[in-house]
Structure 1
Amino acid sequence: MSEIGSSMPPPAPDTAAANAARTIALQMLEERGRGAVLVGVARVDAALEHLLQAVMAPAANRGDGLFLPDRPLGSLGAKVALARRLGLIDAPVERALSALRKLRNAFAHSAESASLADPAHSARLAEIYAEARTNPLWAPLETVLAAQPPSAHGPLEPALRDYILLITILVAFLEATAQQLQPFQPPVVMGFSGVLRKEPAGNGPRSHG
């Protein structure tokens, strides 16, 4: 029987995403107000970076400076644009990520009393939530959040609940998608000797110049 356990395949991608989503949602419950917005978008930003890294050749150096704040891909907006142009995210996800970027910027320059329930913010997110609710994990995660006992911060407001669910689904599925991708291998590359056709692993490039 011990051999069965050791030979079992890893969880299916959607199962892994569901497990990760539950953990993320419960962690996000610890945040409130401005902190919840900033922490949530930071988690999405990191997951989007992992998605882009999944299709890139490994960095020559141990640290990947491509995503440092002062580099072209250091901003969330640049990551969103590149992910969309590479076909790694669809249009609704792009809209959601762009809305979160604007929300983060608004909260970063707002008073501590700013709330997701404010009309300006709720209107910006209403359409995004409607699209995110089509994800099969939205309803189960909503049930999980509803079952949690009240925290020291008080009851979970509907506006924050929906925000947590959106962040959770985005992070879980960006990470799940990244885990299924491999670095892009173009059929040809440019070299000083001309256009080089890439050979199977183990063979060097062949010149077609």
Structure 2
Amino acid sequence: MTASFPSACCADIRLCLRAAVGAMLVVAGLGAVQAQSSGSAAGQGGAAAVAAIGQGPGYHDPRSPFKPLQEIDGVLSWKLLSSVTTKADKSRVIPSFPAAVQALDKRTVKVQGFMMPLEPGDKQSHFLLSSVPTTCSFCVPAGPEGLVEVRSKSPVRYTLEPVTVEGQLAVLSDDPYGMFYRVTQAVPASVPAR
């Protein structure tokens, strides 16, 4: 199934992602204030931490016409990518990547996801892959741990079906848009039949 992407729709979703990260910081701040005012262990200087920041790998609506992505040998796991932990520091979210994720930095990987265009037109060379399908044209379906920014060698046709690309992964600890992962020099990749 393919579809055209309207050029007027959310011209730069990276700005939406930045706003979502900002909202996560506000929620984290409110959680810290509530913990302090309630006298919890976190508010009393104890070891308890404020609730995790981020939306995780996203929520797959059971009413979606698209099946959830399945783990595939040789394709980077969203479970692994979303194992990052985060903490709020003033106006930004600081990711802490487990060793297994850090080991993937600058390595060639395959990643599968649902395409979120960042350019007008039905062919994209700069887009996001999401761990879950979008349910709203104006919403980010997952936190930064459920998204991968992709820059492809040649344009990839927009589709509502899952897309698999292969390229060099960058694990990002201080991206200005709040992204955690980027794949560059990407090319469409095939996956084994199930």
Provide the TM-score with structure 1 as the length reference. Answer: 0.27
Q: Which has the larger radius of gyration?
A: 1
Higher normalized strand content (fraction of residues): 2
Higher normalized helix content (fraction of residues): 1
Provide the TM-score with structure 2 as the length reference. Answer: 0.29
